[in-house]
Amino acid sequence: MTKKYFMAIISLFVFLILMGNVPAPWWACDGKNEGDSCTAAGYTCSILRRGVCRQQEKNCKDDPQTKINECLWCSK
């Protein structure tokens, strides 16, 4: 019984560590404009995940104090 709990805890720990390494959704469009091509390398194989930088939400407000446009995401 303790081996099952140990494996469950290890599995949860590994899952949480891997989720922390996923890049932010706007990462692929950093420094690009709307309509530019992008590759979301980090989510899946970069060959399969080619897309275009698009505004994701109509009500999204970009923080003017940062250089990054958080509303611009790479999507198909």
Q: Which amino acid is at 39?
A: T
**Mean pLDDT, residues 29-40:** 85
The residue among 76 and 67 whose pLDDT is bigger is 67
pTM check: above 0.85:
no
Phi-psi group of 57: left, alpha or beta (phi > 0 → left; psi -120 to 50 → alpha; rest → beta): beta
Q: Supply the mean pLDDT for the chain.
A: 79
Q: Reduced to 3 states, what is the DSSP secondary structure of residue 57?
A: coil
Going from N- to C-terminal start, the domains of the chain cover 24-60+68-76
| Per-residue model confidence (pLDDT) at position 68 | 83
Going by pLDDT thresholds of 50, 70 and 90, the confidence category of residue 1 is low
Q: How far apart are CA 63 and CA 72, in angstroms?
A: 12
pLDDT mean over 29-45: 76
